[in-house]
Amino acid sequence: MDERSFDVDGAAAAEALSTDVPPRLSPDETFHVFISYSSTDYQWTHALIEQLESRDLCVCYHDRDFMPGRTVLENMSECIQESQKVLLVLSSEFVRSRWCLLEANMSLFRDCLERKPIVPVLLEPAVCVPLHLCHLTYLEAHDPEFMAKLLKVLFTPNRQLQGSTVVPYQPPSIYNGKALQPLTAANVESLYKWDAGQFSDMDVPDQLRLVIEDQEKYREAIAIINSVSRQNVYPRWLQAVLVLVGSVFEMALIAYIGYTSSLLAVNDNYYFWGLALACQVFILFAVLVLAGFTTRDGVAHTVKEMQKAVGQANIILCEEKVLLGCLSTSKIYMVYVSLNGCQREFAETFSEQASAEKMFQRALLYFSSGYACCLAKRSFPFPTPASAAHLEGGVCFCQYVSMQLGRGEWM
């Protein structure tokens, strides 16, 4: 076993559990526990499996129990269904592994339908637990009493697990301030750079389905952002008008010079045609410069309007511990962050509750988009404050607002 091997230290714990009998398997069950793990954690996991099987527990794992010739999905579904409980060995590699996350999702589905207990084991203290697992309870592999706690859970019948010693899992303590996969506009392929993107509100993204309890809030928030694309943005028609006017003026000028030169001496034709060419170059240059300025201003205008809409959307989503951020017309950043501490700070700063709530919403409207982008990119436009306030290891929202106000960004 490697350095992460658990310590069954507890001859006392082992002795206390020696008289325990594994729960009886029902006719539909073949295993006491299905273990999902990454192949990189093979050594640690198989040492654990040996310990569990020495306790007469029937363990299911893919290396041995998946049936050859069947698809991985079929094997996973059947093994999870035939097991009393599901144990997830959470490591950084597990989180990155598609198959492991898929197993976790399938076990969650079973848990919802049949209340099948799921026990995540944190193999590494700093692992970022996927959001769809954050509502579960967990055990830490480095806990000196890990084995005793795990055996207690596995030896306890499912109907009695409410009295187990598993520690409640608190998502904000580990996942607070983490970036989620950004949203890309559904019409990104046909999007002009000065147009606002349209984002799908038909389905809540998988990463948010278990985070946002009221999914109508998500659809309402996305509808606010999508409303920007239905507004009239000036650059497209203004650019077309500039090009049209410039083209008409050029053709008229060429026709006039051609007509005038035909009435003059041949020697003077070079002068007029040179003047015509110079005028054409000047007009073309002017049109391109004006088009460039209007496009640049149009993009900035559209992003600014989207940021306002994102701020309005965040007033709705902050209750679900989700904030959105916008830096372009085609992508929205998402972060999971709790603002409860910052909201209490506003309540303490403004004595009247109505004023505190109003100021907090104004802060969300004007600053939450930029804050979400800074969290997602892990970069702030000012030095990180020496003392952390409401976000461990990072800048909390009220600190961000305070620093932005100090830099002259007013609400």
Residues 199-255 have pLDDT tens digits of: 987 777 766 765 677 788 999 999 999 998 766 555 555 556 666 676 676 667 666
Q: What is the pLDDT of residue 297?
A: 60
pLDDT over 90 percentage in the chain: 24
How many CB atoms are located within 10 Å of the residue 59 CB?
22
Q: What is the pLDDT of residue 211?
A: 67
pLDDT-based confidence at 372, cuts 50/70/90?
very high
**For the residues 374-379, what does the mean pLDDT come to?**
89
Q: What is the pLDDT of residue 164?
A: 44
pLDDT-based confidence at 280, cuts 50/70/90?
low
Q: Nearest to residue 176, comparing CAs of 348, 341, 353?
A: 341
Q: Which amino acid appears at position 263 of this protein?
A: L
Helix, strand or coil, per DSSP, at residue 138 = strand
Q: What is the pLDDT of residue 274?
A: 65
Q: What is the pLDDT of residue 311?
A: 95
Residues in Cβ contact with 262 at an 8 Å cutoff, skipping those fewer than 6 apart:
none
Between 388 and 229, residue with greater pLDDT = 229
pLDDT-based confidence at 338, cuts 50/70/90?
confident
pLDDT-based confidence at 171, cuts 50/70/90?
very low
Question: Helices 42-53 and 146-155 sit at what angle, rounded to 10 degrees?
Answer: 60
SS3 content of the chain, % helix, strand, coil (to 5): 55, 10, 35
Between 49 and 6, residue with greater pLDDT = 49
Residue 313 has pLDDT above 70, yes or no: yes
Give 158-175 as a DSSP string.
GGGGGG--PBPP-HHHHH
Q: What is the pLDDT of residue 163?
A: 44
Distance CA 235, CA 238 (A): 5
pLDDT-based confidence at 134, cuts 50/70/90?
low
**For the residues 50-62, what does the mean pLDDT come to?**
94
**For the residues 371-390, what does the mean pLDDT come to?**
84
Between 74 and 52, residue with greater pLDDT = 52
Phi/psi of residue 277, nearest 5 degrees: -65, -45
pLDDT 10s digits, 15-24: 344 447 888 9
Q: 314, 180 in Cβ contact below 8 A?
A: no
Q: What is the pLDDT of residue 315?
A: 95
pLDDT-based confidence at 109, cuts 50/70/90?
low
Residue 262 has pLDDT above 70, yes or no: no
Does this model's pTM top 0.85? My answer is no
**For the residues 125-136, what does the mean pLDDT come to?**
68
Q: 239, 294 in Cβ contact below 8 A?
A: yes
pLDDT-based confidence at 172, cuts 50/70/90?
very low
Residue 335 has pLDDT above 80, yes or no: yes
Q: What is the pLDDT of residue 31?
A: 95
**For the residues 374-394, what does the mean pLDDT come to?**
82
Q: Which amino acid appears at position 58 of this protein?
A: C
Which structural domains are found in the chain, ordered by start? 11-174 (3.40.50.10140), 179-232+298-406 (no CATH)
Summary mean pLDDT of the chain: 77
Residue 116 has pLDDT above 70, yes or no: yes
Q: What is the pLDDT of residue 189?
A: 80
Q: 238, 212 in Cβ contact below 8 A?
A: no
Residue 135 has pLDDT above 70, yes or no: no
Between 5 and 80, residue with greater pLDDT = 80
Q: What is the pLDDT of residue 12?
A: 39
